[in-house]
Structure 1
Amino acid sequence: MNARIRRRRGAACRWVTAILLGITVAVTGCATTDSPLPPEAKPLSNSTSQPSAIPGAMTAPSPSGTAAPTAAPDTCADGRPVRASVDPANPMPVPGQMPPGSAMAAIVDRGYLRVGISTDVPPFGSMNWQKLELEGFDVDIAKEIAKALFGTADGRVRFQAVTIDDRINVISRGDVDIVVAIMTITCERKQKLRFSGVYYESGLRLLVRRNAGFTRIEDLAGFHVCSTTGSTSLAKLKNLPQPAPALVAMERTANCLVAFQTGQVDAIATDDVILAGMASQDPYTEVLPAAFDHALGNELRTLEEPYGVAMRMTGNTVSDDQFVAFVNGVLRNVMQGGRWKQIYDRWLGAELGSTDSPLAKNANWPH
């Protein structure tokens, strides 16, 4: 490794407090390219001194000893696309005047909407300790649904913090009315829950240091790139053609962040929304929006993770469809009227660049 890269890494070292996925990690000290990787790291080669020799297709063992999973199928067992949902309500009911006997009427009668939300995944959901309130992309989407129910979101939303593991249980028990928490729509989950149409689609991106000279994944050949063990992101990275980066697998994204900020890896590859949260807290980093446009080909260019609003499956198909149609009507209006772009620009635009809403990208939305 040349002296220029060594100096760049040394300059990047500093005290770091990273809050990610509910884990607070304090990092001190500086590291050079010769520093050993943390114990949590699992370099995907027999030696970290020759990263360029690592075959891009080498299998990275997950904690269970199996290969990392591939992306979810586009079509479920019933023959319907995984993204398929109910047509939006048309016309939409007047706020405060929901159809009698509907799930929406029960919420209005109660006086507030109960929302399961992630509180540790900025910029989608996190606590603003200065204002003592939750904020983020998902928070704003939930408030739009409350506005459609009550005419205003003020005093009409009660958020309940949910973790990645307990989201399904919380909504299935009826503890909340909806879950808006970066929840990917999958065929398996659709057997237990009802989902809206896609309101955001994340993709595989790269986080690098500003002015490091990297613009595409090809520029990182011979450098260390970190991703999480057993993730679909890591599975995509193993398809990179040679010469490829040296892949480093860690159990948690927070561990990748520690290794990155101490100069032990050169980039992090994962969902763009997670990287945007990291970049918003560190002005010396940037997310590369088109890093994989050529390396993986069009069919593998992004790791698609379609997020949807989750609702309880009550067994009453007519009632469930009515609630999903209402939520889809809200999302349609948010995307058609420009509100979606305002929310996106506020929380993600600076780090991820401009993009269109799922409705603008898919004329057949929400199918």
Structure 2
Amino acid sequence: MFKKWKKALLAGVLSLSLVGTGYVSHDLISTQNASAESASKNAPGHLKKAEASQLDEIIERGYIRVGMTGDYKPFTYLDPETNEYEGYDVDAAKELARDLGVEVRFVGTTWPNMMKDLQADKFDIAVGGITRNTARQKTAYVSQGYLSFGKVPLIRAEDKDKYLSIEDINKPSVRIGVNPGGTNEAFVRQYLTNANVTVVENNLVIPGLVADGTYDVMITDTVEAILYANEDQRLYAALTNDPFTNNEKGYMIPRGDFVYASYLEMWMDEMKLQGKFDALYKKWME
């Protein structure tokens, strides 16, 4: 018994000696090395070859393509006289381009086609009063929010005590004008199924059609409703202190690009920290 134990001890010492001097067979260490190599490759934080980012493409080409509808005051408006875009998100996009060190090029789109145009690489980012929601996040990358709002009815001032709830509006006798393809239409289709709904292609003309009596209600965001009510005394922005929904505005880029998304989020953080979003709010909404 003692001899067997002694042989085992000597064998162990010999093995350790061989390992220490480097004289050990390939078969003895190959499995251990393979395991260690695999663990190294899969370890968290392992440096992998970075794929090309759209951020690098934008900087290399020297301009960023910004998609917007041009029909959604005060975020984006295409002035027919100058053929120039103006608004809160127009200025924000110009600021983004300056921070990137590139030019900005605006690309026209529509609410029904915005997501398809983004996926088709017609622009690098979509801006202009875009509502953050999980439906959009399934297809694109939607940024953090930069402005809170809710859905409210824009009505005639003479009717300000008439439409105080969903129930007041959700009637066959109530005529609603709504623009197609965005969250305004989605809200109307979901909650106002009994109302008399008309889809109006040009969002910019709906407030005037409410004011002149063609429609009774326009469902829109608090900021747009307040803007049009301030511009036309015939109109009234109802329920702005207690909107039907609680939402935020954000920006959209193609999904799957971590580098580009990270830059966008940090840029937005800096815009907030430096008070630049606040300055845009004062310029366009107060």
1:340 equivalenced with 2:277 (yes/no)? yes
Q: Secondary structure at the match of 1:249?
A: strand
Alignment CA distance shift 1:134-1:110 (3 Å):
same
> Do residues 227 (structure 1) and 176 (structure 2) align?
yes
Query: Does 2:57 match 1:106?
Result: yes
Q: 2:94 aligns to what?
A: 143
Q: Superposed, which structure 2 residues align to 1:208-247 within 5 Å? A: 208-210=155-157, 214=161, 217=164, 226-228=175-177, 231-233=186-188, 235-236=190-191, 247=195
Matches within 5 A, 1:38-187: 102-129=53-80, 131-150=82-101, 156-187=103-134
**SS of residue in 1 equivalent to 2:152:** strand
- Distance of aligned partners of 1:259 and 1:166 in 2 relative to their CA distance in 1, 3 Å threshold: closer
Q: Which amino acid in 2 is paired with 1:207?
A: L
Shifted more, 157-166 versus 137-146: the winner is: 137-146
Note the alpha carbon deviations across 1:345-366, whole angstroms, 9 max, x for none: 22223xxxxxxxxxxxxxxxxx
Distance 1:128 1:251, change over 3 A: closer
The question of whether the paired residues in 2 share the 8 Å contact of 1:124 and 1:273 is answered with no
Amino acid in the other structure paired with 1:310: M
The reply on whether 1:205 has 2:152 as its aligned counterpart is yes
Q: Is the 8 A contact 1:216 1:290 kept in 2?
A: no
2:142 and 2:251 in contact (8 A); partners too: yes
Query: Which AA in structure 2 matches 1:183?
Result: I
Structure 1 position 211, deviation (Å): 7.1
Query: Which has a greater percent of helix?
Result: 2
Deviates more, 1:156-165 or 1:190-199: 190-199
Q: 1:21-32, aligned counterparts within 5 Å? A: none
Paired residues of 2:72 and 2:204 also in contact (CA < 8 A): no
Contact 2:160–2:236 (CA under 8 A) maintained in structure 1: no
- Residue 249 of structure 1: aligned partner: 197
- C-alpha change, 1:159 and 1:284, in structure 2 (3 Å) is same
**Aligned position for 1:365:** none
1:330 aligns with 2:242: no
Kept in 1: contact 2:71–2:204 (CA 8 A): no
Larger radius of gyration: 2
The gaps in structure 1 that reach 5 residues or longer are 1-98, 239-245, 294-300, 350-367
Residue aligned with 2:130, SS = coil
Taking the aligned partners of 2:210 and 2:284, their CA distance within structure 1 comes to: 23
- The percentage of counterpart residues that share the same residue type is 23
Task: Summarize deviations over 1:316-354 as a string: whole Å, max 9, x none.
Answer: x4xx112111111111111222211221222223xxxxx
Deviation of the 1:160 alpha carbon? 0.5
Higher relative contact order (CA 8 A, sep 6+): 1
Structure 2 residue matching 1:217: 3-state secondary structure: coil
Q: Flag the 1:205–1:191 CA change in 2: closer, same or farther, 3 A.
A: closer
Q: Secondary structure at the match of 1:106?
A: helix
What is the deviation of 1:235?
A: 4.2
Rounded to whole Å, the distance in 2 between the matches of 1:234 and 1:170 is: 24
**Whole-angstrom distance in 2 between the partners of 1:213 and 1:276:** 13
SS at match of 2:237: strand
Q: Report what 2:14 is aligned to.
A: none
TM-score, scaled to structure 1:
0.52
2:53 & 2:206 partners in 1: Cα distance? 46
Residues 131 and 102 of structure 1: is their aligned pair in 2 closer, same or farther, counting only changes over 3 Å? same
1:102/1:135 Cα in 2 relative to 1: closer, same or farther (>3 Å)? same
Alignment of 1:1-20 (within 5 A): none
Q: SS state of the match for residue 192, structure 1?
A: coil
SS at match of 1:179: strand
- Report the CA distance shift for 1:288/1:335 in structure 2 as closer, same or farther (over 3 A): farther
Question: 2:218 is matched with which residue: 268, 273, 279?
Answer: 268
- Matched AA of 1:134: Y
Change (3 A) 1:258 1:186: same
When residues 345 and 160 of structure 1 are mapped into structure 2, their CA distance, relative to the original with a 3 A threshold, is: same
Q: TM-score, normalised by structure 2?
A: 0.64
Give CA deviations for 1:129-186 in whole Å, capped at 9, x if unaligned.
4554211122122122112211xx7xx1011001112212222122211111333333
- Contact 1:236–1:303, Cα closer than 8 Å, also in 2: no
CA contact (8 A) 1:227 1:234 kept: no
Q: C-alpha separation between the residues in 1 aligned to 2:100 and 2:277?
A: 18
- Residue aligning to 2:240: 290
Aligned length: 226
